[in-house]
Amino acid sequence: MKNILVTGGAGYIGSHCVKRLTDDGYRVTVLDNLDIGHRAAVENASAGKAQFVQADLRDTELVTKALRDNAIEGVIHFAALAQVGESVQYPLRYYDNNTAGSVSLLRAMDAAGVKRIVFSSTCATYGEPASMPITEDMPQIPINPYGWSKLMTERALTDYANASEGFGFAALRYFNVAGSDPNGIIGEDHNPESHIIPVVLNCALGKVPKMKIFGDDYDTPDGTCIRDYIHVNDLVDAHVVVMNALNDGDQRFYNLGTGTGSTVMQIIEAGREVTGHAIPAEMGPRRPGDPPMLYADPSKIKNELGWQAKCTDIKQMVADAWTWFKNNPDGYRDK
């Protein structure tokens, strides 16, 4: 399988996947509507080798054409809106973009005869698990529209696979993605930015006055929340491994993480050490709905496919992200 379509390939994770695939000699087509992605990310990631199609997934006819014109054999599907708070405020936007967009993609794949897809799902489908670590067989009860929009897509994939001979898919549920390609030519550029490591680094750059910490009275080593962070390059490596492992009729579900977690304070301290900046922090009350800890049990994918995260050092993840941020303080500058 050499011809791959990457949806959302102009985004943070998608562009890293494009780089990995083009570096490995795959023929890559990127489909992105550029609402939140960056054309420059595609160019930087692929050195101009990727075919770019500006289109919305909900345009089934145009997506079908892109699949046929580029002889696509497999799809890696990242395209989605992913802000939890925004999804609560604008739920229909999330169901329309994430769920309906994915259904449109499946319709296009059906029309073009494409039988393989790796779907970017999320740990948000688990809601607030009763115990840690999180395994794939735990109940999936999302607590926000973002999580539901992804879970509904998992359901659509399952139902379509049951009805479509030879179709194989995998849904990869991942946790907090961090870092960037160490060479610093691509990185994380969201507006607004809500992810903790970019906010820490923007604070080091003077673009954010101080870090706000939501709660220091959790039952964790330093009282702040624990989350599982996975390096973006490890994440895309898992997508490629899974894509190449898919067989007719496969319905695979995997957690992607390191199996350990870092506290909010550990992230801030790593930022201070890596950047050499003070990064002032202000303690505040807990946010409603923030579990004390969330981390994955990634043993299933290790046992079945031999994959595991190579980078488990949060300081290294922050350092790789800092390479991008210090070299590109204004992001891609294409918007």
List active site positions. 146
Q: How far apart are CA 193 and CA 224, in angstroms?
A: 20
Task: Return the bridge partners of 253, or none.
Answer: 171
Q: In sequence order, which residues have a C-beta less than 8 Å from that of residue 7 and are 6 or more positions away?
A: 14, 31, 32, 57, 75, 76, 77, 78, 79, 105
With 0-12 / 13-18 / 19 or more C-beta atoms within 10 angstroms meaning exposed / middle / buried, residue 79 is: buried
**Tokens read off for 227:** 């989350």
Q: In sequence order, which residues have a C-beta less than 8 Å from that of residue 162 and are 6 or more positions away?
A: none
Q: DSSP letter string over 268-304?
A: HHHHHHHH-----EEEEPPPTT--SEE-B--HHHHHH
Q: How far apart are CA 301 and CA 253, in angstroms?
A: 9
**Tokens read off for 325:** 């941020």
Say what the alpha-carbon torsion angle 136, 72, 181, 237 is, to the nearest 10 degrees. 40
| Three-state secondary-structure class, residue 164 | coil
Q: How far apart are CA 88 and CA 72, in angstroms?
A: 35
Distances (CA, A) of 317 to 75, 207, 233: 27, 20, 10
With 0-12 / 13-18 / 19 or more C-beta atoms within 10 angstroms meaning exposed / middle / buried, residue 293 is: middle
| Three-state secondary-structure class, residue 5 | strand
